[in-house]
Structure 1
């Protein structure tokens, strides 16, 4: 099996961190798990210390934001493949990481991704799926020109790719994950594989989508993501990004 490092960035994540860590512990593959804290002033670090036997490193803050924390984690990891699990996200089943590892046994695969669901907080033991991001197979860089992108929380990348093409660009703000994907998949055309299953459950929210004003700012940074890579999107590319999300809204409960 191919070794995997996981990075979890935290900042006042006491309400959700235990669920995140437990979902990793339940995996049927042992991994290197690094927590990078941004200077929490709640019980986040105390909770992390309770799981010290399962964590490879806990890197204390402060940092320059979530993408700086992710960069610190990437720099600290030692495995061949790197994944990022946000502190309010979790894996829905215990075989996720072993399936990912198996994919990377093919040395030509440089990255992989899967599907993601957004869930509301559990009430009475029931979580409600409010969005289902079915990414679908990768058909080449052209997809990005039509507003497509893979769910970043499901993305696993070989460490050698980060070493060759760079990590998150901190000047990109909340579009840093989008810029990374443009750089890796459109500009440099790395080989990526789709795993057709839900990889991550993500709790609803997100800074870039929190308000209409934030959406406009995010679109401006999305355009910059192309520009800094010497690329130019079609005039409809960025308009199609939110349109593509319409089909993600489904409403049902998960037992």
Structure 2
């Protein structure tokens, strides 16, 4: 199976190299990498150019925002499976792609997702939050659940059938997409209990109380435009469900073990 990974970047020269290197170092051979740069002005464009010969396709031009750029990248993908890795995120080891491809092949599934760690912006070995996704269950959406987006990989045919990201959203288009394809259209999904992505802290939707409130409003809108009816507590459960992630109790030794055994999902060897 051919895999396409898309990275979108704008003015992130200090971090994008980690994302790029983590994709280029994957051990899976049939991998297409597409990088969309929104015409950065901080040196990002020049840095990306250093990798030009190793990246399948690089586009540097103005866009209408994050989700517009992501959609542009998705439409360029020729792979059977598509994954998104933002410019301040990175894969924790070189077996992430081969691990989820194995799951696609063995489970004959439409999507595969795993766990994610939030790490310190400067010290990426320091874990702030551990997002342990758990098994997929439609009812979980009503309790505030969603899969971590950088650790979610979806067949291209699902995007073709159910659509890409809704650019009317400013920060919750990823949430809306998961509601649309997993809950409303009920595609099949397989959970791998492994760390599949590392995300630096400081995301837009969580950067301030105002942004969190705006994201909460957009979350509710995501339900309504899909003709789905959340429970009265759903809007409050989504932010509350994040609290246990801060009490992960994971040591550096155990984190290294999780990273090192990212292809051990079949026997459920990793427990956190």
TM-score normalized with structure 1 length: 0.95
**C-alpha contact 2:121 2:202 (8 A) present in aligned 1:** no
Once the two structures are TM-superposed, the CA of residue 172 in structure 1 deviates from its matched residue by 1.7
Farther off after superposition, 44-53 or 163-172: 44-53
Moved more, 174-183 or 13-22: 13-22
In structure 1, the residue matched to 2:95 is: 95
Q: Tell me how far apart the structure 1 counterparts of residues 151 and 75 of structure 2 sit (CA, whole Å).
A: 19
- Which residue of structure 2 aligns with residue 164 of structure 1? 161
Q: Aligned residue for 2:128?
A: 130
How far apart, CA to CA, are the structure 2 residues paired with 1:98 and 1:190?
Answer: 22
Match of 1:9 in 2: 8
Map 1:81-230 to 2 at 5 A. 81-106=81-106, 108-123=108-123, 127-138=125-136, 140-230=137-227
Moved >2 Å (runs of 4+): 250-255
Alignment size in residue pairs: 251
Please give the per-residue CA displacement for 1:180-211, whole angstroms capped at 9, x wherever unaligned: 00100110000000011000011111111111
CA distance in 2, matches of 1:217, 1:182: 18
Superposed CA offset, 1:153-172 (max 9, x none): 11100000000000000002
- 1-structure distance, mates of 2:217, 2:19: 32
CA distance in 1, matches of 2:54, 2:119: 26
Kindly report the root-mean-square deviation, in angstroms, between the aligned alpha carbons of the 2 structures.
Answer: 1.5
Instruction: Give, in angstroms, the shift of residue 8 of structure 1.
Output: 0.1
**Are the aligned partners of 1:121 and 1:127 in contact in 2 as well (CA < 8 Å)?**
no
Q: Partners of 1:153 and 1:107 in 2: how far apart? A: 21
Please give the secondary structure, in 2, of the residue aligned with 1:135: coil
Once residues 158 and 180 of structure 1 are traced to their aligned partners in structure 2, the CA distance between those partners, rounded to angstroms, is: 13
- 5 Å-filtered alignment, 1:223-242, equals 223-242=220-239
The 1:172–1:122 alpha-carbon spacing in structure 2 relative to 1, beyond 3 Å, is: closer
Q: Secondary structure at the match of 1:100?
A: helix
Give, in whole Å, the separation in 1 of the partners of 2:221 and 2:162.
18
Please list, as runs of the form range in 1=range in 2, the aligned pairs for 1:29-108 lying within 5 A after superposition.
29-30=28-29, 31-106=31-106, 108=108
1:248 alignment counterpart? 245
Shift of residue 107 of structure 1? Answer: 6.9
Structure 2 unaligned regions, length at least 5:
257-272
TM-score by length of 2: 0.89
Could you tell me which runs of 5 or more consecutive residues in structure 1 were left unpaired when the two chains were aligned: none
TM superposition shift of 1:108: 3.3
SS, match of residue 160 in structure 1? helix
